[in-house]
Structure 1
């Protein structure tokens, strides 16, 4: 019988340091998010350090460089927008309610976080975060549309350009609105975008000779049930 190996000793000091390191990184990312909201997308590392109440050199004890900090901010932003878009990931109600709730959530997040959005778009190391968020939304919509187009005997090949096209449309219109609202309120913009999106979806269905009532609840867990709600146009 081979000799029993002694259990490895855990270095308590190392564990404490790693825990403190992660806590400090989180605190500095919090400070960065606050500084971005205050100073805008061109916020400097010094302004972030000032917000955190430390010397700038102290930041680099917890981040390899400015790019490392920017990527940490991007990861936090992705978590934030993902949480805000629960109406998209878990849609409920009628088609128009689903569209309105998802669009309203995205427009609301942009309105509250436009400096953060522009910060991510401005820095090369974080641009993938914006693209990844849009890709995740587009892929989710494409999957929903493909399921319903298939169930309704429509053309599922339209699902992907439809999903990603809607993402680009809503994103571009919403960012422009944040900069140039021209008296148009959040709810008004949301209602307009939702109505236009439904027009596109309705036209896609009608191209297959079908129509759905946008004000009748839709069962997303069982796409085949939609065939009972669809009528010939």
Structure 2
């Protein structure tokens, strides 16, 4: 009995052979690699980034009341295309807030060194970088601090939470440098939230109510005042926790050994 390709002889009968495809050696079970999908994801990420950059420019130029249509025009596209890459206004505004957070992270952390800087130096340099960012993008800060409509308010809350994460991260760095003391974590978090709230309120005051408002204080003077306010939060927390430290010494030398041991 002739047997064709794809068939085999079993018990005197010709039967079809069903071949089960084997996965490629480099492919994980259950994972389908789709190059087109990956390219599309990268394209969407790139376009989202370009729209966020355009939003920054539009807010800087037109003020905190900028519309999505004006952002689209700045991006060189139509409003409907914006919503092909963002689910709604809140999603767009949140992306703008995340970009602001990333810019602040990128500016602050290369400028400080917790192993060699004193507490005052860390705070002063952080405040300087923050105020530089505010000065470069005042309307973007107004956009979040002085949100005019519901979607902005929701995005403002998320953006402020992102900002608090930075102050919490810095508080954690302070805590790591003083880890021998086993500081009260709740007190550290409270200090971080208080510092961030002070910076937000001070920024709102400094910028004034509208894009046409003059700065209410020279920039360097504002940096000095805000640094003093931030140091007040740190010094007050140290006092409540019974910590004696020198704010002008590197952090690992700032606390006397007797105080650290206690």
Q: TM-score range by the shorter chain?
A: 0.7 to 0.9
In the alignment, does 2:135 pair up with 1:102? no
Match of 1:5 in 2: 22
- Quick check: which has more Rg, 1 or 2? 2
Match of 2:10 in 1: none
In the alignment, does 2:60 pair up with 1:37? yes
Match of 1:27 in 2: 50
| 1:13-58 Cα deviation digits (max 9, x unpaired) | 4444333333222222221111111111111112111111222223
Select which of 157, 172, 193 maps to 1:143.
Answer: 172
In the alignment, does 2:215 pair up with 1:181? yes
Per-residue deviation at 1:166?
Answer: 1.9
Per-residue deviation at 1:143?
Answer: 3.2
Normalization by structure 2: what TM-score?
0.69
Select which of 140, 154, 170 maps to 1:116.
Answer: 140
* Distance of aligned partners of 1:82 and 1:229 in 2 relative to their CA distance in 1, 3 Å threshold: farther
Per-residue deviation at 1:175?
Answer: 2.5
* Distance of aligned partners of 1:53 and 1:210 in 2 relative to their CA distance in 1, 3 Å threshold: closer
Normalization by structure 1: what TM-score?
0.76
Q: Is the 8 A contact 2:167 2:192 kept in 1?
A: yes
In the alignment, does 2:247 pair up with 1:214? yes
Gaps of 5+ in 1: none
Q: Distance in 1 between matches of 2:64 and 2:86?
A: 19
- Identify the range of structure 1 (188-197 vs 145-154) with the bigger mean alpha-carbon deviation: 145-154
- Identify the range of structure 1 (37-46 vs 136-145) with the bigger mean alpha-carbon deviation: 136-145
* Distance of aligned partners of 1:157 and 1:148 in 2 relative to their CA distance in 1, 3 Å threshold: farther
SS in 2 for 1:85: helix
Question: How many corresponding residue pairs?
Answer: 225
In the alignment, does 2:209 pair up with 1:166? no
Gaps of 5+ in 2: 1-18, 209-213
